[in-house]
Amino acid sequence: MKKRYFITGTDTDAGKTRVSECLLTSAAQQGLSTLGLKPVAAGAEQVDGEWQNEDAQRLIQASSIKLPYQSVNPVLLRAAMAPHIAAERENKRLTAQNITGYCRGTLMTGQADFTLIEGAGGWRVPLNYRETLADVVKALNLEVILVVGMKLGCLNHALLTAEAIKRDGLVLRGWVANSVQPVMEGLTENIHTLERMMPAPLVGVLPHLAEGAQAPEQWVNPALFR
């Protein structure tokens, strides 16, 4: 059975892309074909004369199924800011219907065993003044993996995000504790607190990684891939 998850975070700097890269690598080690998508990205740089987003590039590199850049990241906004504001500056209109359509088309093309669709910012990031990116997840009926950036304030952010996901009628498949800081006072206690209070299981603890470093083996529960 093919696995498809939406990756969201407790905030913008929770480490969604880092976790997504590591999950795609771990899935490949399980013998699965993999695909990472970034349907909406804000923040671009020119690569070989083409505007691209760094997070989308990293997902492409981590995926075993290679698709054209525009299939992985159909909505690219140049300014690194809230997507609806960046879109207004470029005279573009973001809608949940259009983004859902892009995702469905790519999912039909890239038939991977394990697919991750990475969000932008947190769960309630606006697409316009009526819709958020969560509306796309609802339309696609995807299970959600929450990346918790382990730092001061993460308990509140994690619990509120989990409540919002449940309120939207979606399944929170699990959460990842991502060590965004080299050292966090009370890291173990914070993880233990979330294990007791989150309405979904802890599926992995990702230690703080230097740039370019690989995640340790068996950092994530392999049941996520089955």
Q: 178 has which bridge partners?
A: 149, 206
Q: Going by C-beta distance under 8 Å and a sequence separation of 6 or more, which residues neighbour residue 108?
A: none
- Output the DSSP codes for 164-209: HHHHTT--EEEEEEE--SS--TTHHHHHHHHHHHSSS-EEEEEPP-
Q: Cβ contacts of residue 100 below 8 Å, gap of 6+?
A: 136, 139, 140
Catalytic residues: 38
Eight-state DSSP code of residue 157? H
| Residues in Cβ contact with 189 at an 8 Å cutoff, skipping those fewer than 6 apart | none
CA distance 30 to 120: 27
